[in-house]
Structure 1
Amino acid sequence: MPHILIVEDEAAIADTLIYALQADGHTTEWMTLGGSAVERQREQPADLIILDIGLPDITGFETCRQLRRFTEVPVMFLTARNDEIDRVVGLEIGADDYVVKPFSPREVTARVRAILKRMAPRAEPAPAATTPAPLQLDTLRMLISYHGQPLTLTRHEFRLLQCLLEQPQRVFSREQLLDALGVSADAGYERTVDSHIKSLRAKLRQVSETGEAIQTHRGLGYSYNPEQA
């Protein structure tokens, strides 16, 4: 429960605040001196301070100044004065709100709730769970895994599959895939690509019979579709 420190030298007003705040679900502590409140905040920080301006030792303004040297605890000023200059000074030295006596206990508790809600840290949304891609490429180890299982690939099969994986959904012509293998298309090896693709598909099906990671585009070439893997 939020803990509220009330700094007020009039017992009747303090009793009213204590009753209203505790009924609203807060714990409270009451002090009559500004200097004591500053020391208390150093030792056992409250979640919010309701601070009267006219205190017996130092003013509420000075109390707030001293608090702001070491804490950003929300401060609500409580005063019998309604002068605009007092409200301006109070807000300029770091107050979060300003309530003029006589006040409604309901209004005070509503303002306290609003301040605490505004000051509460916002929860970060939980990161969305991500599913690892079925085909994982490890260029340092020259390894490709499918559903966590390393594939046993020839040098040409590895480079062919690597080319497809690095640009998912892109359609590569046989000539482009030969180029990735370091083989000249002029040498007449275009159909060799088909043979490597057939071998790759067979090795992928040994791991998963339902996947169709390598897509054929008739008259165009091949592509890797991660959604079908």
Structure 2
Amino acid sequence: MISVLLVDDDEELTEMLSEYLQREGFHATAVHTGEEGEVQALSGRYSIVVLDVMLPRLSGIEVLRRIRASSQVPVLLLTARGDNIDKITGLELGADDYVPKPSSPGELVARLRAIMRRVQPQDAPATDAIRTGLLALWPAKRQATWQGSELDLTSTEFSLLEELARHAGQVVSKQNLSINALGRPLTRYDRRIDVHISSIRQKLGPRSDAKAWIQSVRGLGYLLIAE
């Protein structure tokens, strides 16, 4: 059973979400402060964290920052509808996705399941690796190495890089990246992929010619250089 940590100061909302998640086959636990959310998220007891950005005292963004300092547990943000600053900041800090508030419990469950499918694929032997140049990825284990060293990626970053690696040297459209890596069509003005790709670029570092390993092809998509 997937164990979900809900971090939101709205106790009525978390009670309703907990009941809905239980009916959908999840195990849900709710806490109501950022401080407690940080402790519980780092406890290793949860498969995924649902984190409200608008928490009193210690904000959700700061909680996310602290979580990402030592853990890659998947994090789904609850953001104010239309607040693009919090959404982009959260993605840049390593959130896997976001859902605007208010949203339906059904949408939340769909996003949780999509993230968990990326984290826990079941269709590849653990020994099968994707290799291109200095990059190696093991999809079944969700592990990657770059230049022989472990590459620390969020679940969403791993899925995007896996899709690019499977088509190394070829342009992959943003729409195909969104469908194949994130499990949903790309919507207008959606910057999720761009922000995650920017984070991956930083982790890979520059090439010897100072260019990025992941190239943006204007109007088409992204290309992982195969060397």
- What is the 5 A alignment of 1:1-229? 1-122=1-122, 124-125=124-125
How far residue 43 of structure 1 moved from its aligned partner, in angstroms, is: 2.7
Between the aligned partners of 1:25 and 1:98, the Cα distance in structure 2 is 21
Segments of 4+ moved more than 6 angstroms: none
Between the aligned partners of 1:105 and 1:76, the Cα distance in structure 2 is 13
The structure with the largest helix share of the pair is 1
How far residue 10 of structure 1 moved from its aligned partner, in angstroms, is: 0.5
Between the aligned partners of 1:125 and 1:48, the Cα distance in structure 2 is 24
How far residue 86 of structure 1 moved from its aligned partner, in angstroms, is: 1.8
Q: Which amino acid aligns with 1:96?
A: D
Per-residue deviation, residues 147-182 of structure 1 (Å, max 9, x unmatched): xxxxxxxxxxxxxxxxxxxxxxxxxxxxxxxxxxxx
Between the aligned partners of 1:126 and 1:11, the Cα distance in structure 2 is 41
Between the aligned partners of 1:52 and 1:112, the Cα distance in structure 2 is 14
Contact conserved, 2:38 with 2:67, CA < 8 A, in 1?
Answer: yes
How far residue 37 of structure 1 moved from its aligned partner, in angstroms, is: 1.5
Between the aligned partners of 2:65 and 2:93, the Cα distance in structure 1 is 6
Structure with larger Rg: 1
How far residue 39 of structure 1 moved from its aligned partner, in angstroms, is: 1.4
Q: Which amino acid aligns with 1:79?
A: T
How far residue 79 of structure 1 moved from its aligned partner, in angstroms, is: 2.3
For normalisation by structure 1, the TM-score amounts to 0.52
Between the aligned partners of 1:81 and 1:114, the Cα distance in structure 2 is 21
Per-residue deviation, residues 186-218 of structure 1 (Å, max 9, x unmatched): xxxxxxxxxxxxxxxxxxxxxxxxxxxxxxxxx
How far residue 81 of structure 1 moved from its aligned partner, in angstroms, is: 4.1
How far residue 57 of structure 1 moved from its aligned partner, in angstroms, is: 2.4
How far residue 5 of structure 1 moved from its aligned partner, in angstroms, is: 0.1
For normalisation by structure 2, the TM-score amounts to 0.52
Per-residue deviation, residues 109-157 of structure 1 (Å, max 9, x unmatched): 0110110011114454399xxxxxxxxxxxxxxxxxxxxxxxxxxxxxx
Between the aligned partners of 1:96 and 1:107, the Cα distance in structure 2 is 15
Aligned-residue Cα RMSD (Å) equals 1.8
How far residue 35 of structure 1 moved from its aligned partner, in angstroms, is: 1.4
SS at match of 2:30: strand
User: 1:155 matched to which residue of 2?
Assistant: none
The unaligned stretches of length 5 or more in structure 1 are 128-229
Q: Which amino acid aligns with 2:73?
A: V
User: 2:139 matched to which residue of 1?
Assistant: none
How far residue 83 of structure 1 moved from its aligned partner, in angstroms, is: 1.9
Greater mean deviation of Cα atoms: 105-114 or 76-85 = 76-85
How far residue 61 of structure 1 moved from its aligned partner, in angstroms, is: 0.5
The unaligned stretches of length 5 or more in structure 2 are 128-227
